[in-house]
Amino acid sequence: MLRVLDAHELVCVAAAESSYSLRVNYSEGAREACNFGCIGKLLMAYLDEEEAKRLVLDGHVKRFTSRTVLDFDTLKKEWARIRLRGWIYSSGEALDGVKAVAAPVRDYSGGVCAGLGVTFPAILLPKSRVPPVVKAMVKAANALSLQLGFKDRRASNSKMSKRYGG
Protein backbone atom coordinates (compact mmCIF):
# COMPACT_ATOMS: atom_id res chain seq x y z
CA MET A 1 0.00 0.00 0.00
CA LEU A 2 1.17 3.51 -0.79
CA ARG A 3 0.08 6.40 1.43
CA VAL A 4 0.72 10.14 1.52
CA LEU A 5 0.00 12.87 4.04
CA ASP A 6 -2.59 15.43 2.98
CA ALA A 7 -2.56 18.18 5.63
CA HIS A 8 -3.47 16.27 8.80
CA GLU A 9 -4.79 13.12 7.12
CA LEU A 10 -3.18 10.00 5.75
CA VAL A 11 -4.50 9.04 2.31
CA CYS A 12 -4.21 5.63 0.68
CA VAL A 13 -3.27 6.34 -2.95
CA ALA A 14 -2.67 2.75 -4.01
CA ALA A 15 -3.45 -0.63 -2.51
CA ALA A 16 -3.06 -4.23 -3.60
CA GLU A 17 -4.99 -7.08 -2.05
CA SER A 18 -3.13 -10.06 -0.64
CA SER A 19 -3.72 -13.52 -2.06
CA TYR A 20 -3.89 -14.97 1.47
CA SER A 21 -7.38 -15.85 2.71
CA LEU A 22 -6.58 -14.14 6.00
CA ARG A 23 -5.64 -10.54 5.17
CA VAL A 24 -5.90 -6.87 6.08
CA ASN A 25 -7.55 -4.76 3.38
CA TYR A 26 -7.35 -1.03 2.74
CA SER A 27 -9.20 0.93 0.07
CA GLU A 28 -7.67 3.44 -2.29
CA GLY A 29 -8.82 6.92 -1.34
CA ALA A 30 -9.41 5.98 2.30
CA ARG A 31 -8.45 8.70 4.76
CA GLU A 32 -7.21 8.14 8.31
CA ALA A 33 -5.66 10.23 11.06
CA CYS A 34 -2.08 11.28 10.28
CA ASN A 35 -0.61 8.75 12.74
CA PHE A 36 -2.55 5.71 11.50
CA GLY A 37 -0.35 2.64 11.33
CA CYS A 38 3.29 2.40 10.56
CA ILE A 39 3.05 4.49 7.39
CA GLY A 40 1.49 7.35 9.35
CA LYS A 41 4.21 7.20 11.97
CA LEU A 42 6.87 6.91 9.24
CA LEU A 43 5.62 9.98 7.37
CA MET A 44 5.36 12.01 10.56
CA ALA A 45 8.98 11.09 11.32
CA TYR A 46 10.09 12.87 8.16
CA LEU A 47 8.04 16.04 8.71
CA ASP A 48 9.57 19.25 9.96
CA GLU A 49 9.61 18.85 13.76
CA GLU A 50 7.43 21.93 14.32
CA GLU A 51 4.83 20.65 11.86
CA ALA A 52 4.81 17.21 13.50
CA LYS A 53 4.52 18.82 16.94
CA ARG A 54 1.59 20.91 15.75
CA LEU A 55 -0.22 17.80 14.49
CA VAL A 56 0.23 16.16 17.89
CA LEU A 57 -0.64 19.19 20.02
CA ASP A 58 -3.63 20.16 17.86
CA GLY A 59 -5.16 16.74 18.45
CA HIS A 60 -4.77 15.30 14.95
CA VAL A 61 -3.13 12.12 16.26
CA LYS A 62 -5.67 9.56 17.41
CA ARG A 63 -5.63 6.48 19.62
CA PHE A 64 -6.46 3.29 17.71
CA THR A 65 -5.35 0.63 20.19
CA SER A 66 -3.75 0.51 23.61
CA ARG A 67 -0.36 0.42 21.82
CA THR A 68 -0.86 3.68 19.91
CA VAL A 69 1.72 6.24 21.03
CA LEU A 70 0.35 9.78 21.51
CA ASP A 71 2.96 11.45 23.74
CA PHE A 72 5.03 13.94 21.74
CA ASP A 73 8.34 13.26 23.52
CA THR A 74 7.96 9.50 23.05
CA LEU A 75 6.99 9.97 19.41
CA LYS A 76 9.98 12.25 18.85
CA LYS A 77 12.33 9.47 20.04
CA GLU A 78 10.57 6.89 17.87
CA TRP A 79 10.73 9.21 14.84
CA ALA A 80 14.50 9.58 15.32
CA ARG A 81 14.87 5.78 15.32
CA ILE A 82 12.78 5.52 12.17
CA ARG A 83 14.95 8.08 10.35
CA LEU A 84 18.12 6.31 11.50
CA ARG A 85 16.91 2.89 10.31
CA GLY A 86 15.14 4.08 7.19
CA TRP A 87 12.12 1.83 7.80
CA ILE A 88 9.53 0.97 10.46
CA TYR A 89 7.99 -2.16 11.94
CA SER A 90 4.87 -1.98 14.07
CA SER A 91 2.71 -4.43 15.92
CA GLY A 92 -0.83 -3.65 16.97
CA GLU A 93 -0.50 0.14 16.99
CA ALA A 94 -3.30 0.79 14.48
CA LEU A 95 -5.26 -2.46 14.63
CA ASP A 96 -5.05 -5.19 17.25
CA GLY A 97 -3.62 -8.37 15.77
CA VAL A 98 -1.96 -6.62 12.82
CA LYS A 99 1.75 -6.19 12.12
CA ALA A 100 3.23 -3.97 9.44
CA VAL A 101 6.46 -2.83 7.80
CA ALA A 102 6.97 0.37 5.80
CA ALA A 103 9.73 2.37 4.13
CA PRO A 104 9.89 5.95 2.85
CA VAL A 105 9.50 6.92 -0.79
CA ARG A 106 11.53 9.95 -1.84
CA ASP A 107 10.94 12.33 -4.72
CA TYR A 108 13.42 14.09 -7.02
CA SER A 109 14.24 16.63 -4.28
CA GLY A 110 15.19 13.92 -1.78
CA GLY A 111 12.20 14.65 0.43
CA VAL A 112 9.96 11.87 1.67
CA CYS A 113 6.72 12.14 -0.30
CA ALA A 114 5.03 8.83 0.54
CA GLY A 115 5.26 5.66 2.55
CA LEU A 116 5.18 2.18 1.06
CA GLY A 117 4.06 -0.56 3.39
CA VAL A 118 2.63 -3.97 3.86
CA THR A 119 0.31 -5.24 6.59
CA PHE A 120 -0.21 -8.75 7.87
CA PRO A 121 -2.45 -10.48 10.34
CA ALA A 122 0.02 -10.97 13.22
CA ILE A 123 0.02 -14.75 12.85
CA LEU A 124 1.42 -14.41 9.30
CA LEU A 125 4.41 -12.26 10.29
CA PRO A 126 6.48 -14.03 12.94
CA LYS A 127 9.77 -12.40 13.93
CA SER A 128 11.68 -14.73 11.61
CA ARG A 129 9.87 -13.26 8.57
CA VAL A 130 10.43 -9.60 9.49
CA PRO A 131 13.96 -9.23 7.96
CA PRO A 132 12.97 -10.46 4.46
CA VAL A 133 9.84 -8.30 4.53
CA VAL A 134 11.90 -5.26 5.55
CA LYS A 135 14.36 -6.03 2.74
CA ALA A 136 11.53 -6.23 0.20
CA MET A 137 9.88 -2.99 1.39
CA VAL A 138 13.14 -1.02 1.39
CA LYS A 139 14.00 -2.36 -2.07
CA ALA A 140 10.54 -1.53 -3.46
CA ALA A 141 10.50 1.95 -1.88
CA ASN A 142 13.97 2.66 -3.28
CA ALA A 143 12.88 1.51 -6.76
CA LEU A 144 9.81 3.75 -6.61
CA SER A 145 11.97 6.64 -5.40
CA LEU A 146 14.26 6.20 -8.41
CA GLN A 147 11.22 6.34 -10.70
CA LEU A 148 10.30 9.65 -9.05
CA GLY A 149 13.75 11.03 -9.88
CA PHE A 150 15.51 10.46 -6.57
CA LYS A 151 19.27 10.24 -7.12
CA ASP A 152 20.85 10.30 -3.65
CA ARG A 153 21.46 6.76 -2.39
CA ARG A 154 22.02 7.68 1.28
CA ALA A 155 18.57 6.30 2.24
CA SER A 156 19.52 2.83 1.05
CA ASN A 157 22.92 2.98 2.73
CA SER A 158 21.66 3.29 6.32
CA LYS A 159 23.04 0.76 8.77
CA MET A 160 19.75 -1.14 9.09
CA SER A 161 19.05 -1.06 5.36
CA LYS A 162 22.44 -2.64 4.73
CA ARG A 163 21.63 -5.27 7.33
CA TYR A 164 18.50 -6.22 5.40
CA GLY A 165 19.98 -5.78 1.95
CA GLY A 166 18.35 -2.45 1.05
Give dist(CA 74, CA 122) in Å, integer: 24
Cβ atoms of 57 and 72 within 8 Å: the answer is yes
Give dist(CA 135, CA 87) in Å, integer: 10
Q: How far is CA 115 from CA 6, 21, 144, in A?
A: 13, 25, 10
pLDDT per residue as tens digits for the range 70-126: 999 999 999 999 999 999 999 999 999 999 999 999 999 999 999 999 999 999 899
pLDDT per residue as tens digits for the range 15-73: 877 776 666 777 788 899 999 999 999 999 999 999 999 999 999 999 999 999 999 99
Give dist(CA 67, CA 116) in Å, integer: 22
Instruction: Using CA atoms of 40, 106, 116, 84 in order, give the dihedral in degrees to the nearest 10.
Output: -70
pTM: 0.86
